Amino acid sequence: MANRKKIIIITPIVVILLIMAILIIMMSGSSNNDISPLVRADEQELSGRRLDISFSYDKVKIIASSQFAFWIEDMDGNYVDTLYVTQWTSQGGYRRRPTSISQWVAAAQPANMQQSEIDIISGATPSPGDYFVSWNFTDRNGNFVTGTQYRYFIEATMNFNEHVVFTGIISIDESLSYNPTPIFNPPDTKFHNMITNVRVAYLSN
């Protein structure tokens, strides 16, 4: 009887502890999604000077796919900041699969980043839909940039060595709005539809 009483007393405590542990894991696992710089197009709120890149995403349902990044470099090729990068690659996947958005990895060098910086710029691979990312003309340290021209990059890995890159130049004193041309490698890849409807828009004032 004594042993039975102990079981009745301990069991509720164990259940409560397990529930608390599950809640903590769920909260920590969703933190990156809460602060992800990737925003759904229908939630867009334009204000202030900024560069906006909108696009449509459709998941490629095979392994080694659906990784992408948006980032900024100066005209000398120096890394300025990442606007968004998929979580799997930025959180260490680039070590296991060096072909995953390799151009971003070479520019941003995530191995040298603090975890807090990676958390700010990354998010889970989204569900298919329309999204946008924005740049407010600050660098990776939050300081406003002082140059007059910058280059944006969009890179996506569709399947192991199959990639697409969009790139172009932003002049601080010139407004723009256009659809950049994708560069596929290889050109005959069958995964053209992962990142589509890309539009770059910037108002200089």
Q: Is the pLDDT of residue 117 over 50?
A: yes
27 backbone dihedrals φ, ψ, rounded to 5°: -65, -40
- Which residue, 168, 162, 159, 153, is CA-closest to 185? 162
Give the residue-averaged pLDDT of 126-148.
93
| Most confidently predicted of 36-40, 42-46, 191-195 | 191-195
Domain assignment of residue 10, given as a range: 1-33
Give the residue-averaged pLDDT of 18-47.
49
Q: What value does the mean pLDDT of the chain take?
A: 84
Residues 27 and 40 in one domain: no
How confident is the model at residue 33, as a pLDDT?
Answer: 36
- pLDDT, tens digit, for every residue of 91-109? 999 999 999 999 999 999 9
Residues 17 and 83 in one domain: no
How confident is the model at residue 175, as a pLDDT?
Answer: 92
Residues 74 and 24 in one domain: no
Confidence of residue 42 (pLDDT cuts 50, 70, 90): low
pTM: 0.79
For 3, 6, 15, 24, 191, the CA distances from 11, given in Å and listed in that order, are 12, 8, 6, 20, 53
- pLDDT, tens digit, for every residue of 142-200? 999 999 999 999 999 999 999 999 999 999 989 999 999 999 999 999 999 999 999 99
Number of structural domains, the chain? 2
The pair of three-digit structure tokens given for residue 47, joined into one six-digit string: 């204000």
Q: How far apart are CA 95 and CA 78, in angstroms?
A: 22
Query: Cβ contacts of residue 154 below 8 Å, gap of 6+?
Result: 53, 55, 68, 69, 70, 165, 166, 167, 180, 195, 198
Residues 114 and 29 in one domain: no
Q: How far apart are CA 151 and CA 168, in angstroms?
A: 6
Residues 123 and 181 in one domain: yes
Amino acid at 37: P
Q: At 22, which helix (H) or strand (E)?
A: helix 2-29
Residues 96 and 14 in one domain: no
Residues 5 and 52 in one domain: no
